[in-house]
Structure 1
Amino acid sequence: MIEAEWWEYDDADEMADAVAGDIGFIVESAVDARSECLLAFPGGSTPAPIYAKLAEKKLPWKRVTIIPGDDRLVPVDDEMSNIRAIAKAMLPTGARVYPIAIEAEDYTMAGHAADARLKDLKWPPDLVWLGMGTDGHTASLFPGPDLENAMDAPKARLAMGIMPDPMPEEAPVPRVSLTRAAILSARTIIITITGEEKKAVLEQAIADGQSSKLPIGRVLAEAEFPIDIHWAP
């Protein structure tokens, strides 16, 4: 059974305040315990106001490394790039923003390069922060020829190249993504979503548990500790 605690807010601004506060606590606790902090952030539109609230906080940012939990294989100055959005918001704080999507001959090689780059960091992350699409994907764990490999990858494999099938209309490009094992290795996992449609999809995935066919359900079904889910209309 998937253990999840839901936190519901009146609007996205209230959620942004709460989530930024929670992440700030994670940063301070990690730096106190280990003198450094590793965070994995999601892409998409929902995180943007949370990034803004978080960047305003006076935290030991110079000891923090931020990676994208997934990224699109596009140039870093492309609007589809997740690292571009993270860097724009978080570099001014003094945090280290660490790309994982590297130019390569194909997406499979890009996945191997991302995996190698992540192995240069001190794993596991203190936080993996996930979003979710209305189709139930999370990070870039989309249905397609690479999904099963990403779900079943050994613990040592941190990232893989992903070719979604079908391609998502808003960003029809291959990706690199954390594997399920890499996501679940995090000390803390949170999910942020907005809207009734996503809430219904996630509730169903949680109810289905091990039998869920959605990527988000399959990831959460293997979690060994409760997940905090933050939702706003």
Structure 2
Amino acid sequence: MNHSLLLHRHADSTGWATTAATAIARALQGPQRQRLLLSGGSTPAPVYRQLAQAALDWSQLELGLVDERWLAAGDANRNDRLVEQHLLALQPQARLQALAQPGSSPASSVQAANAHWRQQPLPTVAVLGMGNDGHTASLFPGARDLAQALDSTAPYASIDAGDCPAAQPFAQRLSLTPAGLGHCRQRFLLLRGNDKLDTLTTALKSGNPRHYPILYALGSSTGPLQVFWCP
């Protein structure tokens, strides 16, 4: 594996969720104000439930999102709904900054998210996922405006992934850019299934981040990408 990646293998989902949550909580400990960016999808739900039990100063911890689907507020398929159901419901002191703003447009929501970013400390931790196509956040290979997002110096961008089967039926997205990922001091990638591990291995062998955007999440001088995997 790449020197900027550390793979933690687990035999079952229970040990996987517990160990990942413990590692995330440990990274968030400290007297300074912390920021935690979270992903949606079904994979991280058990990790979030475990994380909610951690002895953190939740009132001083700001939660944000790695990406969001452009859907109406309260839609069950939004990423912030998953975080609310599996973490905030168990830890009501935590606060979540939504990405998709009610009554706004994707462009305006991205502008607001980038303005909020500049007013806050840099993220301590980003919890990521990955699709079988090698995307992370909403950086889908083949998206029509992917190149613009990849080259952006802003932390968030709007993504039109209407041509990407893996994004369907949620084509319009808001997403961290590689620039945004680069500012996250520690990155944790949650994977389940042999197919995901195979995709990650293929991506690493390719060395092509524009075809496998997960490579933009690889660790930097602040530490390796921590990958937690179970079958």
Instruction: Name the counterpart of 1:114.
Output: 113
Compute the displacement of 1:183 (Å).
0.7
Give the whole-Å Cα distance in 1 for the aligned partners of 2:14 and 2:190: 12
Can you list the C-alpha shifts for 1:61-89, whole angstroms capped at 9, x where unaligned? 11101111000111231111111111223
Structure 1 residues 208-219: aligned runs within 5 Å = 208-210=206-208, 213-217=211-215, 219=216
Go from structure 1 to structure 2 and tell me whether the alpha carbon gap of 1:201 and 1:62 turns closer, same or farther (over 3 Å shift): same
Instruction: Name the counterpart of 1:194.
Output: 192
User: Aligned residues, how many?
Assistant: 225
Match of 2:174, SS? strand
Give the whole-Å Cα distance in 1 for the aligned partners of 2:45 and 2:119: 27
Give the whole-Å Cα distance in 2 for the aligned partners of 1:212 and 1:177: 15
- Kept in 2, the 8 Å contact 1:102–1:110? The answer is yes
Match of 1:137, SS? coil
Give the whole-Å Cα distance in 2 for the aligned partners of 1:212 and 1:57: 36
Give the whole-Å Cα distance in 2 for the aligned partners of 1:61 and 1:110: 25
Go from structure 1 to structure 2 and tell me whether the alpha carbon gap of 1:176 and 1:193 turns closer, same or farther (over 3 Å shift): same
Give the whole-Å Cα distance in 1 for the aligned partners of 2:107 and 2:50: 35
Instruction: Name the counterpart of 1:13.
Output: 14
Q: Please point out which of 62, 67, 72 is paired with 2:59.
A: 62
Residue 79 (str. 1) matches residue 76 (str. 2): yes
Compute the displacement of 1:173 (Å).
3.1
Match of 2:115, SS? helix
- Kept in 2, the 8 Å contact 1:129–1:191? The answer is yes
Residue 142 (str. 1) matches residue 140 (str. 2): yes
Compute the displacement of 1:171 (Å).
3.6
Give the whole-Å Cα distance in 2 for the aligned partners of 1:25 and 1:74: 33
Go from structure 1 to structure 2 and tell me whether the alpha carbon gap of 1:207 and 1:168 turns closer, same or farther (over 3 Å shift): closer
Compute the displacement of 1:220 (Å).
3.7
Residue 232 (str. 1) matches residue 219 (str. 2): no
- Residue identity opposite 2:6 in structure 1: E
RMSD over aligned Cα atoms: 2.0
Compute the displacement of 1:170 (Å).
4.9
Task: Decide which moves more: 66-75 or 164-173.
Answer: 164-173
- Residue identity opposite 2:65 in structure 1: P
- Kept in 2, the 8 Å contact 1:210–1:221? The answer is no
Task: Decide which moves more: 112-121 or 81-90.
Answer: 112-121
Can you list the C-alpha shifts for 1:140-161, whole angstroms capped at 9, x where unaligned? 111312211221111xx11111
User: Structure 2 length normalisation: TM-score?
Assistant: 0.89
Q: Unaligned stretches of 5+ in structure 2?
A: none
Compute the displacement of 1:38 (Å).
0.2
Give the whole-Å Cα distance in 2 for the aligned partners of 1:152 and 1:3: 22
Percent identity reads 29
- Residue identity opposite 1:228 in structure 2: Q
User: Structure 1 length normalisation: TM-score?
Assistant: 0.88
Q: Unaligned stretches of 5+ in structure 1?
A: none
- Residue identity opposite 2:190 in structure 1: T
Task: Decide which moves more: 103-112 or 179-188.
Answer: 103-112
Can you list the C-alpha shifts for 1:103-161, whole angstroms capped at 9, x where unaligned? 46643333223222333322x1000111000111100111312211221111xx11111
Match of 1:74, SS? coil
- Residue identity opposite 1:50 in structure 2: V
- Greater helix share, structure number: 1
Give the whole-Å Cα distance in 1 for the aligned partners of 2:59 and 2:218: 35
Go from structure 1 to structure 2 and tell me whether the alpha carbon gap of 1:70 and 1:6 turns closer, same or farther (over 3 Å shift): same
